[in-house]
Amino acid sequence: MVSGANDAKTPPIVSLAAGGVAGGIEAFTSYPLEFAKTRVQLRSQKGIPTPRNPFLVVTQVYRKEGIRALYKGCAALVVGSIGKDGVRFLFFDQIKNSFADPETGTLSPLRNLAAGMTAGVVASITAVTPTERIKTALIDDARNERRFRSGLHATRVIYQEHGILGLYRGFAGTTLKQASATAFRMGTYNILKDFETKRDIQQSTLVNFGNGSVAGIVTTLCTQPFDVIKTRSQSAHGTSTVEAVKSILLDYGVRGFWRGTTMRLGRTIFSGGILFTSYEAAVKVIMPLYSGVTHTVGADAA
């Protein structure tokens, strides 16, 4: 299981709640880097090339538009991350519990990756694709047209113009990204954790953060092309996955599929550590509350 300071199985409701808390914290704290990465992956405006340095992007936007501009689309991402990480921790924990070795409580590396991939697909369908679509459209729209006043307004306009499919623009790219990213992120984290458990390495905040950061590096390098395709598909006006692939090749060639890697790498190292550390901490806080409630309900029923 993901959680973990103890060896007990994490109840589904605890996995869902702790994952949601961790996702919200991770999304908000690392959003400026996500903003910069998305700006770089979108098509450059004529005569206004986008710098590759994420800190330069952040600095330029801050000077021209203020701190609020760096959090354009943040609310959509935070809401999506609460749902996404709640769902994927829930499904990952349940899948892992089902297939884990009964004696050691661990999974093989391939089963770890398969569990993460399944959790990623479910998360993409239930939460990630529509919220990522809104976030990306808001960031793209803020560069020129500025017709979206807020996340809710953008959702309403996109739905009115394109229907429900408009909110699921980029579904293929997003699902490929989520399936692979969750497989590598959750899989790598748990492979490292299982390795440490077998060798009696004590889990701590520092160890959890380090494992999460390593998982972030592996995830970014393996899934960046899917992230670039997703961003192009979910721009303000939106394109199909095939059109997104063609536009990337036309603009930058094959190397374009790794555009924004530096920014995403910086974010995932940071956010991966925050995500898993927050999850472990949230489980420790929520478990006693959950145990107290179930004990009280059980006592009342008796």
pLDDT, tens only, 234-247: 877 778 888 989 99
Count CB-CB contacts under 10 A for residue 110: 9
Count CB-CB contacts under 10 A for residue 253: 9
Residue 302 included in any domain = no
pLDDT digits (tens, 9 = 90+) for 70-87: 888 898 889 889 988 999
Task: Determine the pLDDT at residue 3.
Answer: 44
Residue 298 included in any domain = no
Smallest CA-to-CA distance from 228 within 253, 208, 207 is with: 253
Task: Determine the pLDDT at residue 48.
Answer: 66
Residue 219 included in any domain = yes
Residue 4 included in any domain = no
Task: Determine the pLDDT at residue 50.
Answer: 66
Query: What CATH number is attached to the domain comprising 19?
Result: 1.50.40.10
pLDDT digits (tens, 9 = 90+) for 265-293: 878 888 889 999 999 999 999 999 998 87
| Region of 47 on the Ramachandran plot (φ > 0 left; ψ -120 to 50 alpha; else beta) | left
Percent above pLDDT 70 for the chain: 90
Residue type, 37: K
Could you give the dihedral angle defined by the CA atoms of residues 73, 79, 84 and 85, in that order, rounded to the nearest 10 degrees? 110
Task: Determine the pLDDT at residue 69.
Answer: 85
Write down the mean pLDDT value for the chain.
Answer: 85
Residue 227 included in any domain = yes
Query: How far apart, in whole angstroms, are the C-alpha atoms of residue 12 and residue 15?
Result: 5
Per the structure, the count of domains in the chain is 1
Task: Determine the pLDDT at residue 1.
Answer: 44
Two tokens at 207?
């160890």
Residue 301 has pLDDT above 80, yes or no: no
**Predicted confidence band of residue 4 (pLDDT cuts 50, 70, 90):** very low
Residue 125 included in any domain = yes
**Predicted confidence band of residue 297 (pLDDT cuts 50, 70, 90):** low
Question: Which H or E run includes 161?
Answer: helix 151-162
Domain hosting 194: range is: 12-293
Residue 89 included in any domain = yes
